[in-house]
Structure formats: C-alpha cells, structure tokens
Amino acid sequence: MKKRFEKPFRLIAAIVLAASPNVSHAADWPQFRGNTGQTGVAYGKMAASPKLLWQFKTGRGVTGAPAIVKGRVYIGSLDGNLYCLNAKNGQKIWHHETKDEIESAPLVLNGVVYMGASDRYFYALDANTGKEKWKFKTGDKILGGANWFKASNGVLRIVFGSYDNKLYCLDAKTGKPVWSYETDNYINGSPAIGGGRAVFGGCDGKIHIVSLSNGKKVGEVESGAYIAASAAMSGSDIYVGSYGNEFQKVDVNAKKIKWEYRDRSFPFFSSAALSSDRIFVGSRDKRLHCLSRNTGKALWTFSANGKVDSSPVLCDGKLVFGAENGRLFVVNAANGKQTWSFDAGKPITGAPAVADGLIVVGSENGTVYGFK
C-alpha cells in the first residue's frame, strides 16, 4: 500500500459529507449508490470491524447491489428472483420470479420496487407483497439500476438504460413510456440525475447528457473508450471510469473533460464514492484508489489482491467494498488503512448497501450477507 496526502489535510468530518445534497438518510438506502446523484455516501455510523448478523442463500450467484428501505432488504439474484428480506434477521418475506437473471439494483420508492432483468422486462412491484403492478418490455436485457425524478407537473418518472441502446423514461404509476433516447451501443450502467438532466456513460464511448423534460440530447463528451460503470454526479461535475484505463472528471455544462487519472493500464468498472474533496473508486488493477476531486491526483491506494469491480460506499469516515478474491473490506477513508475484512469464498463484484449501521452485500456464491 502506498500513501500520499494532499495538503492541507482535511478533517475526517469533511470526508463523511458528500458534496451532493442527495445523501441517503441513515435508515434507508433506496437505490444504486444510495441517491439520485449516485454519490455512494451513507449517513450514520458504521463499525470499523462489523460482525456477521445473518446470511441468506439464493439459488445462484448475486452480482447486483441491494436496496434497504424501512427495515427490508431488496436484492436480485442470477437465479431470476428478486428477494425481499427482513433486515434484522435475513429471513425471506417474499420473492418475485422473472424469466432470466437479475443483475440490476432495485429502486424502492413510495412503496414500489422498480427493477430490470435480463428477460428484457422492467418491473414495478408492490414493496410489501411483491405483487406485480406493471411491467414494460424493452429490446434487450437490463443490467443497470433505475433512477427517478419529478416532472414539472409533479408526476414521478423512472429512468433506466437497456442493452437495446436506449435510455427509457416511464411514468412511475402506469409504466407507460414518456420518452426514450437512443445511443450507438449498450447502456450497462445507471444514469445519474441532477440539474434537470440524466447523465450516463455508454458502451459507445460517450458520456451522454439528456434533458429530463423531453429526452432530447443536451450534449455528449467523447470518453475515448466504452463505459460500463455508472457515473457519480455532484453539481455540474460527473466522475466516471472506462475500459480505456482512465478515470475522468467531466464538466457537463462545458461538455469537456476537466482531468484524467491513469495509473496502470487496467479498466475501471467500479462506480465512485464522493466526499467533499475526495473520490474513492475501485479498479481491475486490484486496488482501491483515493483521488483529489480538484486535481485528480492520487492521495493513496489500497491493495485488495483481487479485481475491484465492487463500488465502495463511504460512511462514518470509512469505506466498505468487495473484491474478486471474495473479500469484503473496510478501510479508513483518511489514509486507506484496512480495519477489517471478511472472506466470502467467491467474488464480491456487486456494490454493498449501508443503512443505519447495517451493511448488506451479495456474493457470487449465491449468499446475501448482513453485517452490523
């Protein structure tokens, strides 16, 4: 592990607060990366050395991220089921079966669970019972999580991407399409939302900026390589890595790249967590990287000894994330020093969720773990 510190050094208290106003409440983690800006930040406390509270076995591997809302955990599995679990003991409350694998993270909003599956359908389910409210068919599989916004008339809209190259906006109540935006290749990640725009990277090598009001292109930025990760958004800046072995900060107003970070020639599949002055992101070089938000310079790196596709969550001055070697890590956000790890035995590629001190994550061994 190597360490470099930015001067002047910021207090750990500043690390806990994300610059985005859309930070999750301590008791909930309702969607991928916790909030509409996808900043990967949770409030509340998180133990430096968590204890295993429960585990739940699904029929196949778990590669997607969970949501935690009102004492319940919602998570999909490659066995084709979305599971609703009791957050206290991991016991199953209900499950909903689809026709193919589920890799996308669920969005839980106003008593409804929204999620896509590899069977090409996007589903809206009753959060209490799992009963299907509606479903919408796309042209290909859906791997990224959904996001949301309210239209000018106050009506709730749901936004998500598909491997049919389109970003969709649906009416949250009925599932009827409002608009769609077509790109030149697959959309793997989840769109970030802010300032009346949806922003996402595509496998066409472009960062797309789309108006939420009508689905029209506001602009695009050439990233230089295809993007599978989801962008983190704060104000007019987004942060995202690519298969071009670079991590970039992009100004969506100016439609230009502010800086690029390249250390070794390995892709970034992980999505970033943002503090007020730092960025934390995993890489397939088997390390977690801490960068300055202002300059893009490395402050420290942590060696996980396995590819880090898992997206880190920042909470209480600590970071939690998984690695391909099957370990879940907690490290100090100030200096990158490890405080704890857990061996699941199989890769942890999905992002964890953190709510009210509870850490939930899935493994490719088919098990969902709860720590507290």
Q: Are 278 and 288 contacting, i.e. CB atoms less than 8 angstroms apart?
A: no
Q: What does the block give as tokens for 336?
A: 């990158």
d(CA 362, CA 65): 7
Q: What is the mean pLDDT of residues 31-35?
A: 98
CB contact set of 91 (below 8 Å; sequence gap of 6+): 54, 56, 85
Q: pLDDT tens digits for 98-135?
A: 999 999 999 999 999 999 999 999 999 999 999 999 99
Residue 25 confidence (pLDDT): 61
- pLDDT over threshold 50, residue 278: yes
Q: If pLDDT is split at 50, 70 and 90, which confidence band does 10 have?
A: very low
d(CA 30, CA 112): 11
Which regions of 117-272 does DSSP assign to beta strands (E)?
A: 121-126, 132-137, 147-150, 156-161, 166-171, 177-182, 192-194, 197-201, 206-211, 217-222, 232-234, 237-241, 247-251, 256-261
Q: Are 59 and 92 contacting, i.e. CB atoms less than 8 angstroms apart?
A: no
Q: What is the mean pLDDT of residues 295-316?
A: 98
Q: Are 301 and 1 contacting, i.e. CB atoms less than 8 angstroms apart?
A: yes
The alpha helices in 126-181, defined as continuous H runs, are: none
Single-letter residue type at 254: A
* Percentage, residues of the chain above pLDDT 70: 93
Q: pLDDT tens digits for 166-194?
A: 999 999 999 999 999 999 999 999 999 99
Q: What does the block give as tokens for 2?
A: 């190597």
- pLDDT over threshold 90, residue 310: yes
Q: What is the mean pLDDT of residues 302-317?
A: 98
d(CA 119, CA 263): 38
d(CA 242, CA 246): 6
Q: If pLDDT is split at 50, 70 and 90, which confidence band does 5 have?
A: very low
Answer left, alpha or beta for residue 166, where phi above 0 means left and psi between -120 and 50 means alpha. beta
Residue 283 confidence (pLDDT): 98
Single-letter residue type at 47: A
Q: Are 43 and 26 contacting, i.e. CB atoms less than 8 angstroms apart?
A: yes
- pLDDT over threshold 50, residue 4: no
Distances (CA, A) of 90 to 52, 56, 83, 224: 11, 6, 10, 43
Residue 264 confidence (pLDDT): 85
What does the mean pLDDT of the chain come to?
94
Residue 3 confidence (pLDDT): 38
Single-letter residue type at 6: E
**Residue 25 vs residue 45, higher pLDDT:** 45
d(CA 314, CA 31): 15
State pTM to two decimals.
0.94
**Residue 264 vs residue 248, higher pLDDT:** 248
CB neighbourhood size of 292 (10 A): 16
- Could you give phi then psi for residue 180, rounded to 5 degrees? -140, 150
| Residue 19 CB-half CA count within 13 A | 18
Single-letter residue type at 311: S
CA dihedral over 316, 342, 57, 39, signed as positive or negative: positive
Q: pLDDT tens digits for 127-140?
A: 999 999 999 999 99
Residue 27 confidence (pLDDT): 85
Q: Are 225 and 209 contacting, i.e. CB atoms less than 8 angstroms apart?
A: no
- pLDDT over threshold 80, residue 242: yes
CB contact set of 35 (below 8 Å; sequence gap of 6+): 20, 22, 23, 24, 41
Residue 136 confidence (pLDDT): 98
CB neighbourhood size of 318 (10 A): 25
CB contact set of 21 (below 8 Å; sequence gap of 6+): none
